[in-house]
Amino acid sequence: MAGAGERDGEEEEEEIVCLEASFFINDNYELKKFTFGSHSFELYCLQSASTDFDLTGQLVWPGAMLLNEYLSKNVDLLKGCSVIELGSGVGITGILCSRFCREVVLTDHNDEVQKILKKNIELHSSKDHSHHAELVAEKLEWGNSDQINQILRRRPGGFDLILGADICFQQGSVPLLFDTVKQLLQVRERDCCKFILAYVSRAKIMDSLVVSEAIRHGMQINEIPGTRSVVGNLEGVIFEVTLLEKSPM
């Protein structure tokens, strides 16, 4: 006969519930209109995040609004350029850029986010036939040299601009972000390639980490004058990041 302790153990085991991964995913996307200056478009996004922290890309974050406002007022920065965006999420920044650039590559590492990103690219392409940019989605996990090289093999000349909007959430990902940026910048080492980062301050330790990692990776990071503002009750700023010039031998 089983003892009381054994019965308690069996009851505890019976209480364990295994949940499917889909339980943690919210895919109740809504079509929402966004306007930046004189430029308006619609895209699908969530109004609140999924349970899974890795699915932050399903939302439009304050830093994306900050970067898009800046870009809409500085379209000369984009005209005729090839652009790669890191951590594109639903694609709000890349879609705006596609109206002015010749090529835009939107990247994200999460498969679920990739689905909504591609859906928004299809939506935009079907509604707006006036843009001239090639707009594509690529999977890219920061620090993954194989994935970076795969993107660059198809574009051996690299990119004119690297963009990132509100992508610094986890401390462990920041070194990988700047490792990725460095690999992309080095392709255009002799040209004027730069990384434009819209950053929103949520923790002092992250503020310091972003700057220190840029410097540690051999980059110069400068605040773009006039971009510091309050977005979503938080302080945001836009940085311009470039490789430090090598001293002549």
CA distance 234 to 214: 22
The pTM of this model reads 0.85
Strands (E), 124-160: 134-139
* Tokens (6 digits) for 75: 């379209």
* Location of structure tokens 């036939």: 129
Along the 249 residues of the chain, how does pLDDT read in single tens digits?
A: 555 555 555 555 555 544 344 434 567 888 999 999 999 999 998 876 544 444 456 778 899 999 999 999 999 999 999 999 999 999 999 999 999 999 999 999 999 899 999 999 999 887 755 656 888 999 999 999 999 999 999 999 999 999 999 999 899 999 999 999 999 999 986 667 999 999 999 999 999 999 999 999 999 999 999 999 999 899 999 999 999 875 343
CA distance 134 to 104: 6
At 57 the pLDDT is 60
* Tokens (6 digits) for 42: 């619609």
Can you name the CATH fold of 21-243? Rossmann fold (3.40.50)
Domain locations in the chain as residue ranges: 21-243
Q: How far is CA 89 from the centre of its chain?
A: 6
* Tokens (6 digits) for 43: 């895209």
* Tokens (6 digits) for 179: 């490792």
